[in-house]
A and B are shown apart, each in its own frame.
Chain A
């Protein structure tokens, strides 16, 4: 029964813009974007427990690619380029760090967004001489919403498929014990690299699709570290190793952050930090796992 639920839900979501106001549609775009980001993040980091802090490095790269190429190439080709650049970046990061212990990967991704931001700023100031670009694309808000919805559905579908596939099994073993994984014949580096590249490509595409909303793009705008931060906390809250966990975390947190950033613009990062620490302490495996273990305990008490 629940297996067939996603299709009508997706159709309903796709029809939503017919009734929504502009504000509502903007809110939905943001929400679907974060669901996509959190799900894509969990695709790699959920099972392997390799914490990637570079979400915005890829997201911003996607947006910036559109800003650079939007007048030179037709839109589908621009998206293709963005995806390609994201995948290439992920391969470079992955090839240099994923063969090593997890902490090297974390450190590399931690500084990656800042590095890309500084490099682009340097390039724009010194070589092209213009910092900041405009995106003039013939894409409506509805168009962005539908594209993002499609990407989100694709991400969750891909995750579901990977969960049942050899790749998902391999990722789970790696997350549990790398030594065991290596001994059972799993190619550690290749498995991690495939999953990380998939995840990073989706994130880059999300940035590319969302970029026309900005109109004006500058490195300091698109490489906002809060995006990385929100993505991680959303996936963690729902449960990063569950199919629907990231979605479950992203929806309430997105609404909460929208409200906080409007009503408390100055103290907003403090709330974020506290909430993040709270999630790490209270729901180490996510809400879904927490609910499950609670149900389990109740059942045991009854028996």
Chain B
């Protein structure tokens, strides 16, 4: 029983960690608090379902299309919608309020588009839905694949951010956007890349969720909320923190769902959030 919760929780936590990673990059590097993040995730999920059901494309191949498409969408969104707000704010705290409001509008826009295109019903696909035995616990193969995607993508990104020159530039912008231009960094370009990368991660996360979970067009708020809480738990902009907090949240949710009641998972998430706010508002692992 305990082992089941542990393994299922870790598998779920992997997806959450990936989602939070995208959000923490968007907020940490591009300085955009993206409330439409969950809607972008769902959009990718619907795209996966449509590609699978409509064209018969296997989900893993569809993922190779969806992730770059997410990057492109993020790039365009930043260039068209966020950049004018950044320019208007001129580096003041104004950007935070403006980006919150603008993405709140985007949330309804995307939700409306999804409701028109895909309807309000729950959607799911049956893909590799057979059990695999891990340490005596039966885990669905599709969940394992989703978990694998998260580990590969999350691990690669963490390595790139901490070891490569590109990662160094990203971290420089995250740390002090004001001084980054002094060493020849184009902050606007890096912020756009960060936002696009975050959207690509949202798309990857959404596509892997669609492989094993049912979802509907109005679920976005819950996904955004989870990602936001993980980001705060891990410390804003802290990639490793987000990964650890993501797994922790997956474990807690699975534990609450199996031991208490599945209807209380969001309440558990909020309880953690409240505890973090009261105890360590800078995040369990501090800012990056």
Contact = CB atoms under 8 A, between A and B. Distances in A.
Interface of A: 49, 51, 53, 96-97, 100, 102-104, 106-108, 110-111, 114-115, 118-119, 121-122, 125-126, 225, 229, 232-233, 236, 266-277, 279-281, 284
A96 B276 CA distance: 10
Contact of A274 (B35, B109, B221): B109
Contact of B277 (A51, A104, A115, A270): A104
A273 B107 contact: yes
Contacts of A271: 112
A51 B101 contact: yes
B261 A122 contact: yes
Given A110-B224, A269-B115, A273-B109, A280 B102 contact: yes
Given A96-B274, A115-B267, A236-B101, A110 B228 contact: yes
B98 A284 contact: yes
A274 B106 CA distance: 8
Interface in B110-158: 110-113, 115-116
A268 B281 CA distance: 38
Contact residues of A: prevailing secondary structure: helix
A277 B81 contact: yes
Contacts of A107: 225, 228-229, 232, 273
A103 B107 contact: no
Given A125-B263, A266-B115, A269-B115, A276 B105 contact: yes
Interface of B: 33, 35, 81, 84-85, 88, 96-98, 100-102, 104-113, 115-116, 221-222, 224-225, 228-229, 232, 261, 263-264, 266-267, 270, 273-274, 277-278, 281
A125 B261 CA distance: 12
Contact residues of B: prevailing secondary structure: helix
A114 B221 contact: yes
B225 A110 contact: yes
A266 to B, nearest CB: 6
A273 B112 contact: yes
A39 to B, nearest CB: 18
Given A232-B104, A281-B84, A115 B270 contact: yes
Nearest to A228: B104
A126 B97 contact: no
A270 B116 contact: yes
B180 to A, nearest CB: 22
B215 to A, nearest CB: 15
Nearest to B224: A110
B266 A273 contact: no
Contacts of B225: 107, 110-111, 114
A277 B84 CA distance: 12
B24 to A, nearest CB: 13
A277 B102 contact: yes
Contact of A122 (B98, B221, B264, B274): B264
A132 to B, nearest CB: 16
Contact of B263 (A126, A267, A280): A126
Q: Which 10 A-B pairs have the closest CB atoms?
A: A273-B109, A269-B112, A276-B105, A270-B112, A273-B108, A111-B225, A122-B263, A277-B105, A280-B101, A280-B102
Nearest to B217: A269
Contacts of B111: 269, 273
Contacts of A108: 273, 277
20 contacts: A49-B97, A51-B101, A100-B277, A104-B232, A107-B228, A111-B221, A111-B225, A111-B228, A111-B266, A111-B270, A114-B221, A119-B264, A122-B264, A233-B105, A268-B112, A269-B115, A270-B116, A272-B109, A273-B107, A284-B88
